[in-house]
Amino acid sequence: MLTAALVFVVLALAVIWNFPPMIRFDGGVSAAAYRAAVEHPGWQAAMYAVTWTANSTTIAPIAALAALLLIWRGRWRQACFVVVAMLATAAVRLLLLDTIDRPRPVDQLAPSASWSFPSGHTTASASAALVAVIVCWPLLSAPWSRFALVGLAGVWAFAVGLSRVALVVHWPTDVVGAWLLVITIVPTVAVLLRAVLGPGVAPDVPADDVSQR
């Protein structure tokens, strides 16, 4: 968490100061992404479908439903974690967004608004994926099921971040910044809630807590 936080700070400062090597990298990748999308409409359509899965109108109801389901199963600690982690990452991201005021790429291939750093869709998907892993990990006993959980969550979160670059609505470093932000905030929320609420939030759930299902 500390390493991710430090790297995020360095990246945010580079964005604020318009660090030339970073600007050239972002510009080159975005230009290549634009050409690929225009030349391959199928790829563009696939990326648009992927990015749709991380809309706020998609993720928010699913997160709310997951929290209600956890409460219904008597897992109120995990429900609190789902709500607090998702809200915390969104709130910090909005604060940074309005503070840094980074313009988006010009040749956008999908609807977008507000500033660019860090990416909102990437933050939302990565937060949801990491929260799902933390909540579901202790509930799965078979190694293959845990591997599948991490694999599916990771592939989805990565695909959403890729789609934001492929559709030229975010610079590559906007996506990397969002991933670093999530890696910093979500585990921090888990640790803090575990300290306040007791066992049942972080992955190392004791056996007696699991038996309460």
Give, for all 213 residues of the chain, the pLDDT tens digit. Answer: 889 999 999 999 999 999 999 999 999 999 999 999 999 999 999 999 999 999 989 999 999 999 999 999 888 889 999 999 999 999 999 999 999 999 999 989 998 888 999 999 999 999 999 999 999 998 888 899 999 999 999 999 999 999 999 999 999 999 999 999 999 999 999 999 888 877 665 544 333 443 343
What pLDDT does 202 receive?
A: 57
State residue 138's pLDDT score: 87
* Rounded Cα distance, 31 and 18, in Å: 18
The count of other CB atoms within 10 Å of the CB of residue 170 is 30
Q: So what's the pLDDT on residue 200?
A: 62
Helix, strand, coil share (%) of the chain residues, nearest 5: 75, 0, 25
Rounded to a whole number of angstroms, the distance between the first and last alpha carbons of the chain is 30
User: What is the CB-side half-sphere exposure of residue 13 using CA atoms within 13 A?
Assistant: 6
Q: Per this entry, what is the length of the chain?
A: 213
Residue 86 to residue 61: CA distance in whole angstroms = 12
Q: Give the pLDDT score at 201.
A: 59
Sign of CA dihedral 159, 161, 166, 169: positive
Q: 173 near 117, Cβ under 8 Å?
A: yes
Residue 160 contacts residue 13 (beta carbons within 8 Å)? no
